[in-house]
Chains A and B, each alone.
Chain A
Amino acid sequence: MAGFGAAPAGNHNPNKSFEVIQPPSDSVSSLSFSPRTNHLVATSWDNQVRCWELTRNGASVTSVPKASMSHDQPVLCSAWKDDGTTVFSGGCDKQAKMWSLMSGGQPVTVAMHDAPIKEIAWIPEMNVLVTGSWDKTLKYWDTRQSNPVHTQQLPERCYALTVRHPLMVVGTADRNLVVFNLQNPQAEFKRITSPLKYQTRCVAAFPDQQGFLVGSIEGRVGVHHLDDSQISKNFTFKCHRDNNDIYSVNSLNFHPVYHTFATAGSDGAFNFWDKDSKQRLKAMSRCSQPIPCSAFNNDGTIYAYSVCYDWSKGAENHNPATAKTYIFLHSPQEAEVKAKPRVGTSNRK
């Protein structure tokens, strides 16, 4: 990490990923791919929501900036509608906006909270938008109405959200994890304390909805199954650590095809893992700045990640004059993301 007056030491792109052009001018808070096409949206602390169109040219990927819109304050989260036409974004202005890319119209405010909106998701099966905020509520919105369809109280501020219908998991402050069955969204299905001993940073639901991953600030990921008969498959593992330094796990993403997953952390590294064989498939090189967010595109051929300061070392380590923000695109090789059976000795204890 950079000290004052020094450019970030080390290589900001050691993995030789493709760089997205015209990145935001301040840190990226979220990355989302369209479910239909290779359009990437990034939200940033510079108040902007930007959209690029990505194109594969043989082995490389190029980006073309397409559009952008702004909020009044930093934007923290984004989500695409399932038809790939509309982007939702929410942030510190306590609003969520709906931005129709197709029509090119002005974004419309579709949600409001009493505190910044940290997480947002579109639930196609219910045709609602769900927003999670630091005001300790989750709200469901029919975008045509100004009042929420339902307001769900959370035990604490919303820090993380993942949806795979009908499974929805909300991670809040104080290590609460609230599980919802979206067929009965007004009731908490289950509320558990995180298996990790430290603050929840991110959650990701299994593609088969049997459970979820949870990542914490303590360089650890928990694999949690919901059904008691699968309790024995629960485990946690350490990652994103470097000798004496323990970095936060900032992002968890499942590969849409292979159902392996990637973790990205404040150490600037991203790794690919297979939870079923309990293996790390690939460790990528560490970038010189943290990776606050990442995403797979709809078919898993592109993994986008942002390299920029995530505030993990506080304000002291941020020099706005020299801070750089990057968004990189990595084309995962099959060996990196395809599940592998375990080789070698059995798991002796």
Chain B
Amino acid sequence: MGKKKKRAASKVWCYYCDREFDDEKILVQHQKAKHFKCHACHKKLSTASGMAIHVLQVHKEAVTKVPNAKPGRESTEIEIYGMQGIPPDVLAAHYGEEDEEAPPKVAKVEPRSAQLAANIVPGALGVRYPPQPTLGTVPPVYNPALSVPPGGWAMPPRAQPWFPPYPAVSVTPPMPAPLPPMQQPLFPVQAAVPPTSSATFPSSLQITPPGLPSSSIAQNSPADLKSLVAHASVGPTIADGSVVNSHSYASGPNTGGPSIGPPPVITNKAPATQPATNEVYLVWDDEAMSMEERRMSLPKYQVHDETSQMNSIDAAIDRRISESRLAGRMAF
């Protein structure tokens, strides 16, 4: 199929790295994955300056350069989104070059960008977790959830156990399915796991009754928050960065959107601390006890405590005593 020379202005291209793409949608996905991605938590932002602000606010680091950008194109101040915001001189220079090349080289440009597009497309569509994942893209899907745990210390261990199982994703067995097909994808996990597992739980890996899968030790480290964090990060956190949340949850007739929550800054903080950058707060924030336990500590609910522990005779006597005490104590 012959392509016209100036179709779609001869293809869109990325300001930061000069790569070309078939359409702007893919270009934007590329930019988000390569240039607007937080290096610490892998959250994808929508612009370079947005990413810089995120890193500053959340990870307390100053970002001066756009990652993966060519020299001279690294400024975070210039607002680029897709093809928008490109300074006219750069734009002209790019097309000026292309014009020169075009006549003899149009044949080369096409295969090159087609190749790029071919690279990009599967990755960009990686949201459906293809069996052969482009690891460059899929982790970002999971990683935003890693803004949940404190800091980046969860990162390194996360990398190990969770990549291998990606191929397993394409296996969606109903539980009664025979174990052997499941065990195959589990092997990489098992291999990766022993180093990280605390192995306190000698859970049976092999034969399990239908209804419950052979367990992964990776998830068994009780105190190992990291693996759990990673575990949590594997599925996209729907609500992470309210952006994702509002896309993922298509609400019906909606009364005020409780699902569109506060920005993910909250989830970055360790539990029981209030995020400093936002005024949000937990209505019930006591990690040490539950609401019912706190309520139980109220004297009015404990009045009969003595009676329930004694035998009936003592209980009767005590009840009489406590009732008279109650009468005196009635304050509310």
Contacts and interface: CB of A to CB of B under 8 A. Distances in A.
A281 B262 CA distance: 21
A247 B283 contact: yes
Interface in B138-155: 140-141, 144-145, 148-149
A245 B283 contact: yes
Interface stretch (A141-149, A233-241, A294-302): A233-241
Given A227-B214, A234-B232, A238-B245, 20 more contacts: A92-B296, A173-B290, A189-B203, A191-B220, A201-B290, A219-B258, A229-B185, A230-B172, A231-B231, A236-B239, A237-B237, A238-B259, A240-B258, A241-B258, A241-B261, A344-B250, A346-B128, A347-B236, A347-B247, A348-B127
Interface residues of B, number: 100
A131 to B, nearest CB: 15
26 contacts: A45-B301, A74-B296, A76-B292, A181-B212, A189-B203, A191-B222, A193-B224, A201-B290, A209-B211, A219-B258, A228-B215, A229-B213, A231-B169, A232-B234, A233-B235, A237-B239, A237-B245, A238-B245, A246-B280, A248-B282, A248-B283, A283-B255, A286-B255, A343-B250, A345-B247, A349-B144
Interface of B: 29, 32, 44, 127-129, 140-141, 144-145, 148-149, 162, 165-166, 168-169, 171-173, 175, 182, 185-186, 189, 201, 203, 208-209, 211-216, 218-220, 222-225, 228, 231-232, 234-239, 244-245, 247-259, 261-262, 266-267, 270-271, 278-296, 298, 300-302, 304-305, 307-308, 332
A22 B181 CA distance: 56
Contact of B261 (A118, A219, A343, A347): A219
Interface in A207-258: 208-210, 217-220, 222-223, 226-248
Q: How large is the interface on A (under 10, 10 to 19, 20 to 34, 35 or more residues)?
A: 35 or more
Greatest chain B CB density within 10 A among A191, A238, A248, A311 is at: A238
B283 A226 contact: no
A192 B292 CA distance: 24
A328 interface: no
Interface string A303-323: 000000011111100001100
B304 A116 contact: no
A179 B226 CA distance: 19
A280 B232 contact: no
A230 B235 CA distance: 9
Interface of A: 29, 45, 72-74, 76, 92-95, 116, 118, 134, 155, 157, 159, 166-167, 173, 176, 179, 181, 183, 188-199, 201, 208-210, 217-220, 222-223, 226-248, 266-267, 269, 271, 278-286, 310-315, 320-321, 335-336, 342-349
- Counting from the closest, the 6 A-B pairs by CB-CB distance are A227-B213, A238-B239, A234-B235, A195-B232, A238-B261, A235-B235
Given A235-B236, A315-B298, A283 B290 contact: no
A260 to B, nearest CB: 12
Contact of B232 (A134, A173, A236, A310): A236
A94 B285 CA distance: 26
A192 B231 contact: yes
Chain B CB within 10 Å — which of A76, A93, A283 has the most? A283
Contact of B212 (A93, A167, A271): A167
Contacts of A284: 255
